[in-house]
Amino acid sequence: MNSQTESDAQNYILANIILSQKSANSGILRTVPELQDILQKLWERQNKDRSPEFYLLVLMLFWPDGAKKTGNTLDLKVCVQYMRESYERTYQKYLRFRYLVPLFFLGNGGGLQRLVHQTEFNNLLSEEHETAEIEGLQRIEGEIRNHKVFALRGRDQIEVSPHNPASVYNTDLVSFYLGFTIRGPVAYNIRYVKKSAQFVDKHKKNIIQRVEKVDFIIDDLRPLISTEQYSTIVAASTNNEKMETLYSVLSAGYEIKDKFYQSLLKNERGLIQHLINFGKKSSS
């Protein structure tokens, strides 16, 4: 692309993102690394006085993907800081405390397809639906400390704003869906995952021995496990062996343990309630 202005470059990148929503297989779409390269060259000019839209594009295209490395990197903590300052200069006096609609959410797809337009999900992510499980969106591992929310991506700790501030009440590990607004990244559907992960670990023996709807649970976890891991699990001859193998996969982190717990609640609610009640009696 032979752009002469930053505005041209931003419009070109945005056009690619929008086209990817309409026609994912279009031959004129540019790859994420190609679009990142355009933004990286602009970023290196070290101009802090850019529009919020510029930083929005940077966040959406450079948000860390644990599965893929493009070679292009930017300091997203600095980007978030610049973006908030830019929003305050540009829009704060006009929008004040109005609700900012997220333009895109972070999905499970690859390339530009991991950006999902807000029209598909925004109604399901209101404060009244904070516990909603949204198929197609990627849950991000995070942490709450000092009443602030941070996304944890490898060594990166990126501050994000909570969609529902009332959900930020403990210092703990959490997971959430990520939305992108013109003020910065926003955490939706914040869920405290440490307790569910601790439950899964504490009751490992009973869960392995007594879960019956194993295949349903495996299918629920399919988006979070590799093809090789999935094949190994389903190849096991008994439910107990499948659950033993599944537990070895759960060591990957709190997010998958939390998802496992949510699947247990859905498919084995009677067993989970029994284990909860048993735990209460034991501690009394």
pLDDT tens-digit series, residues 163-216? 999 889 888 888 899 999 999 999 998 988 878 888 999 999 999 999 999 999
CA distance 137 to 121: 9
pLDDT at residue 131 tops 60: no
- Structure-block tokens of residue 212: 């019956």
pTM across the whole model: 0.72
Phi first, then psi: give them for residue 91, nearest 5 degrees.
-125, -20
CA distance 79 to 276: 44
- Structure-block tokens of residue 120: 């598909």
Share of the chain above pLDDT 90, in %: 54
- At residue 280 the predicted structure's pLDDT band, cuts being 50, 70 and 90, is low
- Structure-block tokens of residue 21: 């929503």
Distances (CA, A) of 84 to 6, 73, 129, 185, 204: 19, 20, 27, 10, 44
CA distance 215 to 107: 24
Considering the domain architecture, whether residues 223 and 163 belong to the same structural domain is answered as no
Tell me the average pLDDT of the chain. Answer: 86
- How is residue 48 annotated by DSSP? S
Considering the domain architecture, whether residues 148 and 244 belong to the same structural domain is answered as no
Phi first, then psi: give them for residue 231, nearest 5 degrees.
-60, -40
Considering the domain architecture, whether residues 59 and 99 belong to the same structural domain is answered as yes
Residues 257-279 have a mean pLDDT of 89
**Sign (positive/negative) of CA torsion 71, 251, 195, 268?**
positive
- The per-residue pLDDT for 3 is 42
| Cα–Cα nearest to 115, from 17, 40, 259 | 17
> How confident is the model over 23-48, as pLDDT tens digits?
888 889 999 999 999 999 999 887 77
Considering the domain architecture, whether residues 174 and 43 belong to the same structural domain is answered as yes
Among the candidates 192, 224, 258, a domain finishes at 192
DSSP 157-200: EEEEEESSGGG--SSEEEEEEEEEETTEEEEEEEEE-HHHHHHH
- The per-residue pLDDT for 90 is 93
Considering the domain architecture, whether residues 204 and 69 belong to the same structural domain is answered as no
CA distance 267 to 209: 15
Residues 104-115 have a mean pLDDT of 91
- At residue 2 the predicted structure's pLDDT band, cuts being 50, 70 and 90, is very low
Partners of 175 in the β-ladder: 141, 191
Considering the domain architecture, whether residues 39 and 167 belong to the same structural domain is answered as yes
Q: Which CATH number characterizes residue 201's domain?
A: 1.10.533.10
- Structure-block tokens of residue 237: 């001859």
Considering the domain architecture, whether residues 9 and 147 belong to the same structural domain is answered as yes
Considering the domain architecture, whether residues 87 and 210 belong to the same structural domain is answered as no
**110 Cβ contact partners less than 8 Å away, ≥ 6 residues apart:** 68
- The per-residue pLDDT for 1 is 46
Domain residue limits at 225: 195-283
Residues 246-274 have a mean pLDDT of 87
167, 190 Cβ separation under 8 angstroms: yes
> How confident is the model over 34-87, as pLDDT tens digits?
999 999 999 988 777 899 999 999 999 999 875 444 556 789 999 999 999 999
pLDDT at residue 132 tops 80: no
Considering the domain architecture, whether residues 137 and 227 belong to the same structural domain is answered as no
Number of domains the chain is built from: 2
pLDDT at residue 126 tops 70: no
- The per-residue pLDDT for 37 is 95
Considering the domain architecture, whether residues 34 and 123 belong to the same structural domain is answered as yes
Considering the domain architecture, whether residues 223 and 106 belong to the same structural domain is answered as no
pLDDT at residue 283 tops 70: no
Among the candidates 164, 192, 220, a domain finishes at 192
Considering the domain architecture, whether residues 104 and 232 belong to the same structural domain is answered as no
Among the candidates 167, 192, 217, a domain finishes at 192
**193 Cβ contact partners less than 8 Å away, ≥ 6 residues apart:** 141, 173, 174, 175, 254, 255, 257, 258
Share of the chain above pLDDT 70, in %: 89
- The per-residue pLDDT for 76 is 93
